[in-house]
Structure 1
């Protein structure tokens, strides 16, 4: 028994987020011990005997985290204000910790929401000097680093999706649009050139949506936790804060017009 206990070990891979790294070659070739992996990449579930997705925080836990991070007293009035703040932050732990660090610096819990309404990008991009965690990146920096790793196809798809509602995103939108038929009263091909060019990135030679290509692109984005697939509904969603951030990366208004056109083509193709 003593020998068995001595042979037990725990190997931890923390923040193993890069989907290009094959973790398997770092696993010890033995039949004892445990391996714990924390990652935003759902693809690593293939190695897991069991796995658990970490969802957004419960409201009460989020309030406690914010007040603790902000060094604010847990009074009832503070809890009310904190509840509004964490709701706006969509209960995302990293955003809450970052907000708490800022509030701790300013000392003013009540003014945060007003500042956030007009300075969201700046507040979610700044790394506070003092923080309750040792994570190196800010909320927006984390997503930007992931975004920079994506292929151009994946970047285009994510930015297009940021131009529509963040949940209930269906592959059918793009499949139906790819099958759009031009008619006498429809816009000309020249008028729809941009959406046609975008759809061609996900289409086969015959012009139909290529399901393997679409799966590859969405899987690439999912590997960085920038989009979520709900298998029970066959729909995609984007976290509201990721959705806001992604929309802020779209400097070309053409993307908005393009997605509107794709949606219109999709409806016409039903």
Structure 2
């Protein structure tokens, strides 16, 4: 991705907004820091949009730098060995933070389960079929509504997609989502599993 494309992704319509030289410099520094990685930039855009741009770019960079080491350390990933990945992991965690702080368990479970599927889109029908054949006590890792709450499931996936935490696949009667390969990789590092395959969010240490 070129610098101009990265800036347009970060600030849609940037060419017509006539940024100050200082804001333009900060924006260019930010997309460069993120390695011009589209997903990371899109997550930052979602974060800033959600905050109503109350969080300025320089404040975001400050939070990012402080958060990065905290994000990477618990799973033993060395930032210098995988800079682009560690940047994406950090933007992902910052975008996910509101869901964690709100105790949005369905959103976390949808993400965590997605990390253990293949790369193909994960269809809502998989969850629905599983609920038909498994009693409630045998599926603690699934979103907890019973019977299946389609509206809540889809609303949760949409809220994750708005922050570029998942990619939405919706066509006619099909509703599905997928995770970027690097996000799947991060979530596999970021979660603990016990022998019963109940997936839990790893707390910071």
Structure 1 length as normaliser, TM-score?
0.41
Q: Highest CA radius of gyration, 1 or 2?
A: 1
Runs of 4+ off more than 4 Å: 11-15, 124-128
Aligned residues: 135
The answer to whether the Cα contact below 8 Å between 2:116 and 2:188 also exists between their aligned partners in 1 is: yes
- Residue 125 of structure 1, CA deviation: 8.2
Task: Give secondary structure in 2 for the equivalent of 1:225.
Answer: coil
Structure 2 residues without counterparts, runs of 5 or longer: 1-15, 28-43, 55-74, 200-205
Quick check: 1:238 aligned with 2:179?
Answer: yes
Q: Take 2:17 and 2:185, find their aligned partners in 1: how far apart are those partners?
A: 38
The answer to whether the Cα contact below 8 Å between 1:230 and 1:236 also exists between their aligned partners in 2 is: yes
Quick check: 1:164 aligned with 2:117?
Answer: yes
Task: Give secondary structure in 1 for the equivalent of 2:157.
Answer: helix
- Residue 246 of structure 1, CA deviation: 1.2
Q: Take 1:168 and 1:124, find their aligned partners in 2: how far apart are those partners?
A: 32
Task: Give secondary structure in 1 for the equivalent of 2:121.
Answer: coil
Q: Take 1:216 and 1:125, find their aligned partners in 2: how far apart are those partners?
A: 37
Q: Which has the higher helix share?
A: 2
Q: Take 2:76 and 2:186, find their aligned partners in 1: how far apart are those partners?
A: 9
Q: Take 2:80 and 2:132, find their aligned partners in 1: how far apart are those partners?
A: 40
Match of 1:21 in 2: 51
Match of 2:12 in 1: none
Structure 1 residues without counterparts, runs of 5 or longer: 1-8, 27-118, 129-136, 183-188, 260-270
- Residue 120 of structure 1, CA deviation: 9.1
Quick check: 1:221 aligned with 2:174?
Answer: no
Quick check: 1:121 aligned with 2:77?
Answer: yes
Cα distance, 1:181–1:163 mapped onto 2, change above 3 Å: closer
Please report the RMSD computed on the Cα atoms of aligned residues, expressed in angstroms.
3.6
5 Å-filtered alignment, 1:72-221, equals 121-123=77-79, 138-150=87-99, 151-180=104-133, 192=138, 195=139, 197-199=140-142, 201=144, 203=145, 207-221=146-160
Q: Take 2:51 and 2:110, find their aligned partners in 1: how far apart are those partners?
A: 24
